[in-house]
Each structure stands twice: as C-alpha cells, then as structure tokens.
Amino acid sequence: MSLTTVTLLVLLLFVVQLFLQETVRYHFDLWRIMGNRDERPQKTVLAARLERAKNNMIEALPLFLGLAMLTLFAGGGNAASPGATLFLAARILYVPLYAAGVPVLRSLVWLAGMAGLLMMAMPLL
C-alpha cells in the first residue's frame, strides 16, 4: 500500500468521523440532519465522545498530512512508511475505543498513533 493510499484512508476515516458524530447527535434522523439545524439536540454521552474523538483527529491530522507531504516530496512515497500505517491502524482503533469509553487502552492506542507520527518524522531528520 502506498503512502498516497494510506493518506487517502486517513482522510476517509476523518470523513467517517464527521458523519458519525453528526448522525449520532441527531439520532440518525436524516430529515433533521438535512434541515437547517437551528435547534441542536442535547448531546448524548456517545455523541459527546464521538465529537471529542473527531476533535482529537482534527488535532492529529495536520501533523500526519505534513509528515506525509514531506515524505512524498523527499521521494519516499513509493511504499507507505510503517509509521503511516501504524498511525492509520491506531486511529481506526481509537474511534470505537473512545466511543465505548475505554479509558486506558484508548490512551495506549493514542500513544501508538503518536509513535507512528514519530516513525514518519525520523527518516526526515
């Protein structure tokens, strides 16, 4: 899998997180979601957790994209770095762990994602 493919999958995961957060907040009521949403419903615990997980991805995404772009510009884009793959896998696991309210394992998975970013950065130094 190329770095481009991993990057596209990370972006797809972000879009899924955006969709999940909003649809859960509106209890999967597509008519309300497609409306003007002037009156937002009270957040459920699950909706609040998905929003925090999405916000965490918003914080991590610029780091990942910056490292991916630097790797591609440096000529290392033929194969995905193990760090990029680790980041993607960790972020995929992170969302359901956060949604389920799993405290310690969620933090360890977050650290694994950060380790993936560090692994991406090391060859660039």
Domains observed in the chain: 3-124 (1.20.120.550)
- How buried is residue 22: exposed, middle or buried, by Cβ count under 10 Å (0-12/13-18/19+)? middle
The list of the chain residues with pLDDT below 50 reads none
What pLDDT is stored for residue 77 in this prediction?
64
What pLDDT is stored for residue 99 in this prediction?
97
pTM (global) more than 0.75:
yes
Nearest 5 degrees, angle CA 125-CA 85-CA 9? 115
What pLDDT is stored for residue 39 in this prediction?
77
What pLDDT is stored for residue 13 in this prediction?
98
- The DSSP code for 80 is -
Question: Can you read off the two tokens belonging to residue 110?
Answer: 């977050």
In angstroms, the CA 32 to CA 16 distance is: 19
